[in-house]
Structure 1
Amino acid sequence: MSNLGHRPTIAMILGLLSVSFLSACSRNGYDKHQAISYAPTLKIDDPKELKAPDGMVLPTRNQYFYIPFVAIKSESDTQVDLKPPTQSLMNEQNLHAQISGNVGILSIHGSSSLISSQIISILQKNGFVTFHRQDIHKNLFTNWVRWNSSGDDKNNCYSGRYQISIQQSGSYQKIKVILIDLRQKNKEVTSSSQIQNYTARMCRYLAQKLNMMIYKNQTVPMISKNYKQKIHAYSGTNDIGLSNIILCASFDHIWSWLPEILKMLNIELKERNYSHGSLKVKYTSLSKKTIHKLGVADINFKNGYYKLQVGDLGSYSSLQFFDPKGHLVNRLQHEKILSALKLITIKNK
């Protein structure tokens, strides 16, 4: 009987020993090792120059970005430039920019012959003098361009001379800006960061002015007057299977043709962006008199604002309508507007 009384006690002792043993085994000793391993890292030796392998240039560079190397002249008491960083790549909605060193390239969609004259006009309006022009090659050189300083000291302003040229590359025109020389107080500036900064400054100025002109449709290419006779429409789908309208005419033809056609359907043009091919319009229901005059059925649109997207397919164009919420119009509305466009194009021939 006495042995039976000791059994629960022995079992409890064995259980406690087992729990203690398991907890000791499961304890993570990494925390201690981790804390100890951090101590030496607090002792940092003198910084050493990073050696790149043969054939590799650090920092890496390509046609899209370039990080200039800045040499440190002294270990202490180095003058710090507190000016905000320069936004080298602009967010102009109609242009794309690439800046690398003293070369900047602006890419603009289209093949307008007016770009060269627009560039000259922009420079003249701002008082930038050109001392040499090659109109045949669309190439010019500016005289010294004085950039106003953001500070009060006007004596520290920078002046630069630029070469600006225009080339056609596929469906884009590329405006190349090269900073030939940069000076401050008649002294040559060799700082790579300042050279890139003032290259970007000229590119930004041209981009802003050109963007305003494009928005006002001053650079839309001239097209023949009889293009309307060749336009006809049919239904299609895009790459992901969504309905769109295919128009048998180039982007530039459709861009000039749409405002007149939309007006017939009581669709008022509010905004348009040539580079993006987008239009913001306001629709008001057609009156019975207008429907009878055009010979079309009601297009079944609700009154309100819509977005039109024109796509460039080479000798063809695509057209999509989006409702006020940004959704593609439904199948019935798509068929209605397609039918109306077909009738209008036939009557205009």
Structure 2
Amino acid sequence: MKLSHQLVVSTLAVLVLSACSSSPAQRRQAKNDFDYLNTTPLKDLQLLKDAEPEFYKTYQIPSGQYTGGQGKEVDIRPPQQVLELIPGARVERKNGDITLWVLKEDELKKIWRTTQDLFVKRGVSMRENTESRIETDWLSWQTEDEDSAVAARFVLEKVSSLRNLGIKISLVDWREGAQSLSVTASNKERYTTLLTNIIESRYDDERRQEMARKAEQLVKHIPISLGVDRSGLPVIIARISYDLLWDKLPTLLPAMGFEIEERNQSQGTVKAKYAAPDDEFWTRIGVKPINLKSGSYTFLFGDLGNRTSINVTDSKGKPIEEKLLKDMVPVLAAIADDKNK
């Protein structure tokens, strides 16, 4: 079967330094030799007659049957970590499989739909594609850590446990070049993690785009009015979240005649110099000019959840008069509406 579909491992895959000129095998294997494989097997300690042995448990090696690779079979590459890009999701690893657990069915449907769209848009053939199970055809991976082209097949299933809903991702078939091989624990864990990260990254991109669209609609019109803070002092209240308003300040304040000199988002302060706009500006926005003297001012922004408080102090740190603050309300509202047209 031809490897007709490729899933390119880019930033989410194993990062390979461009300056590294070693072979794929050298990147997977330890640098030292493997002479320890030829070590003579240990023998039971032969004691003298009537001697009483004394053992210390500090360095005791646990007994048991252990399986795993040896020598060149040991993969020294650091394990892949699942990215935490889905808010509220919990990751469970078991026998190389990964399950993404969520609490809401709507969230599960979104992740499932994102996964289906991802495979379709990347031209991935699916042997099965239903509302509860996806079985992919062969996916080839482009990575410099393997000796030859590798390919894998995956099964994704919706699962549930008590109140949790999840998607279980499993690597079921493995191929190197044209040879089908058994799935090793190392390959299963590594490439299942890579696919999970690609799905999560796609979901995160779509979620951010949706949030940006909603934010854009939200700031089309910003209600602004005069209010009071907890101390009863007058403040301007903008009915928009702090983060969204902060992003708009570099365009809002200069449009009002304030040249921004310094900003500190964590403290909610903006220092700016004011120069009164000309008559054409006031005519254009249709607001009466404010009697604010030219000079340095500091804007103080407070996070009130879905609202933001705004106060202004002069160069001496004193709040400007209530009348000036009140006169700034229609100016700020007019500028905000003008910038959103």
Bin the TM-score by the shorter chain.
Answer: 0.3 to 0.5
Q: Taking structure 1 as the reference length, what is the TM-score of the superposition?
A: 0.44
TM-score w.r.t. structure 2 length?
0.45
